[in-house]
Structure 1
Amino acid sequence: MLETTRRRTLQALGVGGAATVAGCSAEAPNAEQAETERQRMEQQSGSIADQVAADPTDIPGPIDRDESTTHEITLTAEEVTAEIEPGVTFDFMTFDGQIPGPMIRIRQGDTVDLTIENPSGNVLPHNVDFHAVYGTGGGAAATTVAPGEENALRFRADYPGAFIYHCAVPNLDMHISAGMFGMILVEPENGLPEVDQELYFGQHEVYTDGEAGQEGKHRFDMESMKNEAPTYVLLNGEKYAWAAANRGPIEVDQGDRVRVFMVDGGPNLSSNFHPIGNVWKRAYRDGGVPEDGDFEAYADKNIQTMKVPPGSCMIGEMDTPVPERIKLVDHALSRVARRGMLAEVDVLGEERAEIFDPDANGSSHEGPQYA
């Protein structure tokens, strides 16, 4: 690829002057320019990455300190080709090569020194908008970076909760759809209630020029995105990424309280997030948490389905009294059965027939089969 300076790239894409909504330029590329960008990225496609699906268990541990600190955090924009499902490849845009991007975990009052890197092998400019930031575009205008360069931002996290971060350059909907989003968790000063296991998921929809399951290289389809008609609706970047049909299921022990962090990148669809065979024992809508530490009074209790708008998050906790396979789904169920939206959690332990007897009449009951 010819060397591209930051100035030339950003001018070509209309990034300059006063920032507007989400830190983007008021003069975003037109449809022809967007198509040129997409084609350039596809021409740069090389080897197929082994995986873009983030491991739901690979997240930072709870914070156990009572003073503020400063974190040095680097996010790398990675444009990668990977499989959505076997035989179907797609050009993703990611933070650190995974979907969702790495979960950032800090404490209210902490300072973040953020560096965003855009490797020289990339084609497109990128940036990051943190919903946990006071400041223009959540930092997007300050972090825009061309291929081959890096940029930096410092912010203090003054309010607690679980918040999305995402790319917000022009055509931000395309960048988010292709995988550029993640979660930043700002724990309140007194921390979160203790649990036994924590999991991290991200939902997004992908718009391609093929049908779901159609083998071959799928290319991004701007018209489908404009019409909000996705080919796939995914949890962690792949069809059934962490279900038994793919890389899962995830295993927990009977009796564990399991906390689930979920971010809906969208860019367009709300999620109706439901654990089949379980309930959100305590749930925190839009990722909100109490500053006074009274989680019991603040939480919604025994919620069957959490509405998670695009650009928002949820925190939900499940109890696991019986062995079972919990299916985490968007209860707009055609997205599960036909578009790839499913993860599974296996609870390992001993049967408790007084709570649930799956063999009361000698037959087997495995539950609904999506994957």
Structure 2
Amino acid sequence: PDPAAVSVAANPASVPAAIGARAPQTLKYRMETVELPGKLDDGTSFTYWTFNRQVPGPMLRARVGDTVELTLFNARDSKMIHSIDLHAVTGGHGGGQHTQVAPGQEKTVTFKALNPGLYVYHCATPLVPQHIAAGMYGMILVEPEGGLSKVDREYYVMQGEMYTGRPHGAPVHQEANLEKMANELPDYYVFNGEVGALSKTHKLQAKVGETVRIYFGVGGPNKISSFHIIGEIFDKVYSEGSISSPKHDVQTTLVAPGGATIVELKVQHPGSYLLVDHALSRAGKGAVGVLEVTGEPVPGVYHAGAVQ
């Protein structure tokens, strides 16, 4: 493995503050595309292509009606051209048409946030799936007029898959395998970019009685996720990132590659709850996270043994 490898896993608690009820404004964001060696697993590294040195890239937040000015700078030591396509954008290939940025250059696009919802963004430079599989994806939340309901904790989680030249767990610096990518045969499934990102590097945390909201997306580039939390039920699910009409009492929700969902749950019993893709063989390839809940259990909800 590369001795210079660092963790690129985005902290799931790094969620921008809620916007709520305010008039539309002009927001300015600046992002940098960086290629760097990162920790893929214990003893394994990989050359990631990133937005702002993290996977997923930073979560962006706006409200419907806002005008967003987004500048993309490509680091001078990059080897590749990079770009950004935001699914929240109408026109210009989501911004990808006008943000093809060579190393050391920058470009800016301006767009109006027309539709509320949770949207994926990703690099749109050929080979697009190669750029995505290397870590170039993230999400932008466009709040509805008046904002979202208040919750106690918000988290930002994305799933991706990675295609490597050596098998899963090989103690080497892994290189991307484009043949496996074309045949959709991943060696790794990861939450927030690396194995253990949400179980070792970071954990989601909550206290009994709190309501947790998770912004969950799939960078892909190819595989659907069956998102599930072992030992919990989603009280609300905003399917496909649409905020208009939530579903209630959902066990597992499908999220397409390039798609997103918002889930909410009120935690009522302490313990370690596992975030998984319920295509469960993928847990062995890295797709496991932890929601650590502390506090006193709600009487009667759960206990080991017979009725007392």
Which residue of structure 2 lines up, in the alignment, with residue 193 of structure 1? Answer: 149
Which of 92, 98, 112 is residue 136 of structure 1 equivalent to?
A: 92
**Which of 101, 126, 130 is matched with 2:82 structurally?**
126
CA distance in 2, matches of 1:221, 1:250: 32
Deviation per CA, 1:188-208: give whole Å up to 9, x if none. 012111110000001000000
- 1:48·1:83 contact (CA, 8 Å) conserved in 2? no
Q: Of the two structures, which has the highest relative contact order with CA contacts closer than 8 Å and spacing of 6 or more?
A: 2
Structure 1 equivalent of residue 236 of structure 2: 282
Cα distance in 2 between the residues matched to 1:213 and 1:205: 14
- 2-side partners of 1:359 and 1:194: how far apart? 36
Please report how far the alpha carbon of residue 353 of structure 1 lies from its aligned counterpart in structure 2 after TM superposition. 4.5
- Of 255, 260, 266, 1:313 maps to 260
1:261 pairs, out of 215, 224, 247, with 215
The answer to whether 1:358 aligns with 2:301 is no
* Runs of 5+ unmatched residues, structure 1: 1-44, 291-297, 362-371
Q: Please, what is the CA RMSD of the aligned residues? A: 1.4
Out of 149, 157, 161, the position equivalent to 2:113 is 157
- Equivalent in 61, 69, 80 of residue 17 of structure 2: 61
Instruction: Please give the residue correspondences for 1:243-258 in structure 2 after superposition, counting only pairs within 5 Å.
Output: 243=199, 246-258=200-212
* Partner residue, 1:219: 175
Q: Is 1:99–1:182's contact at 8 Å kept on the other side of the alignment?
A: yes
Residue equivalent to 2:291: 345
Instruction: Provide structure 2 residue ranges, at least 5 long, that are not aligned to the other structure.
Output: none
Equivalent in the alignment of 1:300: 247
Q: Alignment partner of 2:73: what SS? A: strand
Looking at structure 2, the residues matched to 108 and 169 of structure 1 have their Cα atoms a distance apart, in angstroms, of: 28
Instruction: Say whether the 8 Å CA contact 1:273–1:329 is kept in structure 2.
Output: yes
Deviation at 1:360, TM superposition (A): 5.1
Instruction: Give identity over the alignment, percent.
Output: 39
- Rounded to whole Å, the distance in 2 between the matches of 1:178 and 1:272 is 22
| SS of residue in 2 equivalent to 1:262 | strand
Q: Give the corresponding residue for 2:282.
A: 335
Which residue is equivalent to 1:242? 198
CA offsets 1:258-292 (integer angstroms, 9 cap, x no match): 000011000000000001110111001110012xx
- After TM superposition, the score normalised by the length of structure 1 is 0.81
| SS, match of residue 101 in structure 1 | coil
Q: Aligned partners of 1:156 and 1:47: how far apart in 2? A: 43
**Which structure has more helix as a fraction of its residues?**
1
TM-score by length of 2: 0.97
Does structure 1 retain, via aligned residues, the 8 Å contact 2:29–2:70? Answer: yes
Structure 2 residue aligned with 1:271 = 225
